[in-house]
C-alpha cells in the first residue's frame, strides 16, 4: 500500500509540475541548474520517484549521476525523465562529460556509457523491473583508453528506424563522431523534424541521420504500447530521459526548442 501511495504521489508531482510559457522557436532551459524540479527518477526494481541513494543530484550547476552510495550497480539502470511529453518538431541541446570510474560489477559496454532517451514511453508506464523505457536513445560514450569510440550513436530499446530507405533492426548503430576522452565537456544537439527526419549533432557537426522511428512489434515492452496506440507503428513523440548505466556522468545547459 505504501509503495502505491509513493508511486501516486511521485506521478502526481511529475505531471503537475508547472510549465513556463515560451514562444515556439525559442530555446528554453528545462533544467534550472539548481534543483531537479520538473524531473522524476525511475530506477530498475524501484518505484517511480524513488531516487535511490541519490543517484541523480545537482552539483555545481549540473545534473550529476553519482554512485557514491552504491556498493555495486546490481542492474539498477536509471532514467531521469523530463516532466512533459515532447513531440516533433523540436531540438534539444546540452553538454555532458564522464568523470570518475565505473562500478566494479558493470559489463564492459557500460563503461563510460550513458544517453539521452527521446520519444520515450511515459515514466509512469515503465515497469518496476524494466531496464530501459521503450524509446530512441542518443547514446553518449566516452573513452578512458586509446581505442576509438564514437559518441551520439543510436540505440533502439523497443524500436526500429529507417536508414537509406531500409528498416534497421540492429540495437546500436555507431555515428561518425570522433573519440572524446573522459573529463571533457562535449556539446550535443538533437534535431527532430516534423517529417520524421532525425539528426544527431556533436560540437556543431552532424554525425548521424535517420528517420522512420517506429515500435518494434517483437519487443515485449513495445507490444503493450503498440496495443494502446491501436497498432500504429510510428512513434508520435514522447518523453526525454537522462540515463544512469553504472559510470558517473554529468549533464548541464539542457535546453529545449519546440518548433510548432
d(CA 155, CA 161): 10
pLDDT at 3: 40
**pLDDT tens, position by position, 29-39:** 999 999 999 99
d(CA 49, CA 39): 9
d(CA 222, CA 134): 6
Determine how many CB atoms are found less than 10 A away from the CB of residue 107. Answer: 11
pLDDT at 22: 54
pLDDT at 2: 36
Q: Where are the domains of the chain?
A: 2-16+26-255
Under 8 Å CB-to-CB from 27, ≥6 apart: which residues? Answer: 93, 255, 256, 257
Superfamily of domain 2-16+26-255: Exo-inulinase; domain 1 (2.60.120.560)
d(CA 260, CA 257): 9
Which stretches of 18-175 are assigned E, i.e. beta strand? 27-29, 39-43, 56-59, 62-65, 78-82, 90-98, 113-120, 136-141, 153-155, 159-163, 166-168, 172-173
Give 10-residue mean pLDDT values along the chain (260 residues): 43 49 81 98 98 98 98 98 97 98 96 98 98 98 91 98 97 97 97 98 98 98 96 97 98 95
**pLDDT tens, position by position, 99-150:** 999 999 999 999 999 999 999 999 999 999 999 999 999 999 999 778 899 9
Amino acid at each position: 500500500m505504501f509503495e502505491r501511495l509513493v508511486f501516486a504521489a511521485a506521478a502526481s508531482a511529475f505531471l503537475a509540475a508547472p510549465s513556463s510559457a515560451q514562444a515556439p522557436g525559442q530555446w528554453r532551459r528545462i533544467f534550472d541548474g539548481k534543483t531537479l524540479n520538473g524531473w522524476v527518477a525511475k530506477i530498475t526494481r524501484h518505484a517511480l520517484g524513488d531516487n535511490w541513494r541519490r543517484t541523480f543530484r545537482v552539483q555545481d550547476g549540473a545534473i550529476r549521476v553519482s554512485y557514491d552510495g552504491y556498493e555495486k550497480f546490481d542492474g539498477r539502470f536509471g532514467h531521469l525523465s523530463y516532466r512533459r511529453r515532447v513531440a516533433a518538431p523540436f531540438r534539444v541541446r546540452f553538454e555532458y562529460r564522464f568523470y570518475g570510474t565505473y562500478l566494479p560489477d558493470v559489463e564492459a559496454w557500460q563503461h563510460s556509457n550513458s544517453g539521452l532517451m527521446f520519444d520515450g514511453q511515459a515514466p509512469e508506464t515503465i515497469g518496476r523491473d524494466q531496464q530501459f523505457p521503450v524509446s530512441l536513445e542518443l547514446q553518449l560514450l566516452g573513452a578512458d583508453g586509446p581505442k576509438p569510440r564514437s559518441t551520439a550513436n543510436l540505440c533502439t530499446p523497443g524500436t526500429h528506424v529507417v536508414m537509406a530507405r531500409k528498416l534497421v533492426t540492429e540495437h546500436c548503430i555507431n555515428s561518425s563522431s570522433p573519440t572524446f576522452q573522459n573529463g571533457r565537456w562535449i556539446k550535443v544537439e538533437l534535431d527532430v523534424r516534423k517529417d520524421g527526419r532525425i539528426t544527431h549533432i556533436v560540437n556543431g557537426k552532424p554525425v548521424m541521420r535517420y528517420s522512420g522511428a517506429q515500435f518494434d512489434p517483437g519487443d515485449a515492452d513495445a507490444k503493450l504500447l503498440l496495443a494502446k496506440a491501436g497498432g500504429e507503428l510510428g512513434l508520435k513523440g514522447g518523453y526525454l530521459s537522462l540515463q544512469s548505466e553504472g559510470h558517473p556522468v554529468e549533464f548541464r545547459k539542457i535546453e529545449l526548442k519546440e518548433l510548432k
